[in-house]
Amino acid sequence: MIIKVKQQEKYTSVIIAEREASLKNAEAFKTEMMQLVDTGATNMILNFSQVTYVDSSFLGSLVASLKYAISKGSDIYLVELQKDIYDLLHLIRMNKVFKIFDSEEQAVASL
């Protein structure tokens, strides 16, 4: 499994359990996220703390997951991004579509 899921009272905590988020796990990640949405998960807080590298294939899957989530009335929050990944997302304006927070606590507080 690419993601580790823990259901909390108000949200679903999702940890990406991979250091390298790339072409090799992008498709599996998207499938797992979509399955999670199908089980009824609404506010998914996606924790990137273990991820040190993201490529464009994975970003594509991340956005596809968000589009799917929104179409089902759900949402994805990104937390604990390492600086270079945070900068990359801002560089390509992903911060305009994802809600990005420093920590899970801050994301929860915004719910």
Q: Is residue 108 within the footprint of other proteins (CB under 8 A)?
A: no
Long-range contacts of 88-93 (CB under 8 A, 24+ apart): 88/54, 92/59
Among 5, 42, 50, 63, binds other proteins (CB under 8 A): 63
Among 19, 49, 103, 110, binds other proteins (CB under 8 A): 19
DSSP state of 95: G
The alpha carbons of the chain give a radius of gyration, in whole angstroms, of: 13
Q: Is residue 84 within the footprint of other proteins (CB under 8 A)?
A: yes
**Pairing between strand 3-7 and 12-16?**
antiparallel
Site of interaction with other proteins (CB under 8 A): 1, 19-20, 22-23, 26, 28, 30-31, 52-57, 59-60, 63-64, 67, 82, 84-85, 87-88, 91-94, 96-97
